[in-house]
Amino acid sequence: MIDRDLGRAATTDSPNTHIEELTMSRILVTGSAGFIGYHISRELLNLDHEVLGLDAITNYYDPKLKHSRLAILHGYEKFSQHIGRVEEMDSYFSVVEDFDPQVVIHLAAQAGVRYSIENPAEYLSSNVDGTRAIMELSRRVRPKHVLIASTSSVYGGNETLPFAETHATRSPLSLYAATKIAAESIAHSYAHIWNLPTTCFRFFTVYGPWGRPDMALFKFVKAVKSDTPIDIYGEGAMSRDFTYIADLTASIVRLIDLPPGDISRDPAPQTLSPVAPFRIVNAGGGNPVPLMQFIAEIESALGTEAKKNFLPMQPGDVTATLADTTALQALIGDLQYTPISVGVREFVEWHDGYYGS
């Protein structure tokens, strides 16, 4: 198995100098056995923070992959893990209370647009009630910053590109997107009522080593290796703002010390709520890649051509995504961008090492 540390700590100083550096040491990460949660937890541990991970280890995809990620995290002295669903937090609240987190990073969620059509109840439980539970936890333990994962899917039927945080999110195209809009609203209300500094970051098609098997890159690589046709929806005419996992991790880690502050002195005031210590920020690369180019990079990395099965758009999908990263750059400085050719090759190398070439 290849065990490569792909996190690259950012060196650019943040321009947001009016906010006192919080220098956190105890950080709660929900979804720590997941793709993004694993990478963020590992980067925090590399930076010598203490991390308590929470994860339900559901069977939405192969739990062995989740346990493999956790095995690496358990190699760090400052990592501990509790298995349980976030919406059932009351049953193990004492574990978190004893840990006394200074920061809460909430990544646990039921992901996937298409699965939300098949199993809507799981999304309501994990994404809506789970966020409610995390915010209730936060108002009790009073962390200095709560960071919550959202998604570019909330932009739904919006046809204006790039997607900006100020765009309306009233036209979700999937239940997954609808539950994430609800999660953002729940977080905002708690931030307002309980004065909880909260940041919601909207992910844009994150990919890379240790990724989820239900994502396109994973599916395509597996299919090409087995000489099986890949399904290409939208007749291949889609594009995505692909965000490499190490780039995303660097951005999120740098946001930790930047809780929403004084709107009159904030470098990205357009992302702040006028009535709560609450911010929404796009966490993407700002570099759209056509789907067919993405597939060409996979073929190049594997050294073989994919058999292609072109299909119409699926329900809940959008034609294109592109993040306006103006606010994110104002907050943390220059962003990292890993070229798609490099990111895809890194994934293929990991896949070869973990599953065999």
Residue 7 confidence (pLDDT) above 90: no
Q: What is the dihedral of CA 272, 274, 277, 283, to 10 degrees?
A: -20
Instruction: Report the number of secondary-structure helices (H) and strands (E) in the chain.
Output: 12, 13
Which of 339, 280, 315, 287 is closest to 162 using CA atoms? 287
pLDDT at 9 over 80: no
pLDDT tens per residue across span 264-316: 889 999 999 999 999 999 999 888 899 999 999 999 999 999 999 999 988 87
Catalytic site residue from 60, 155, 176, 190: 176
Position 3 pLDDT exceeds 50: no
CA nearest 196: which of 142, 256, 122, 151? 142
When pLDDT is averaged across residues 315-322 and rounded to a whole number, the result is 86
At 186, list the tokens: 């729940």
d(CA 283, CA 172): 19
> What's residue 317's pLDDT?
80
pLDDT-derived band at 114 (thresholds 50, 70, 90) equals confident
Segments of the chain assigned E as strands: 26-30, 50-55, 79-83, 103-106, 145-151, 198-203, 206-207, 230-232, 239-240, 243-244, 278-283, 289-290, 308-310
Closest CA to 221 of 153, 295, 332: 295
What sign does the CA torsion over 29, 30, 33, 36 have? Answer: negative
- β-pairing, 289-290 vs 239-240, is antiparallel
Residue 103 β-bridge partners: 27, 145
Report, as an integer, the average pLDDT of 171-175: 92
Confidence category of residue 132, pLDDT binned at 50, 70, 90: very high
Residue 327 and residue 202: Cα distance in Å, rounded? 12
pLDDT at residue 24, rounded to an integer: 62
Active site residue 60: no
pLDDT, mean of residues 19-30: 74
Mean pLDDT value of segment 80-108: 96
Does position 38 have pLDDT exceeding 90, yes or no?
Answer: yes
What average pLDDT score do residues 46-72 get?
96
Give the type of residue at 255.
L
pLDDT of residue 19: 37
CA–CA distance, 2 with 345 (Å, rounded to integer): 13
Average pLDDT, the chain: 91
Model confidence, pTM: 0.92
Q: Which two tokens stand for residue 49?
A: 């923070």
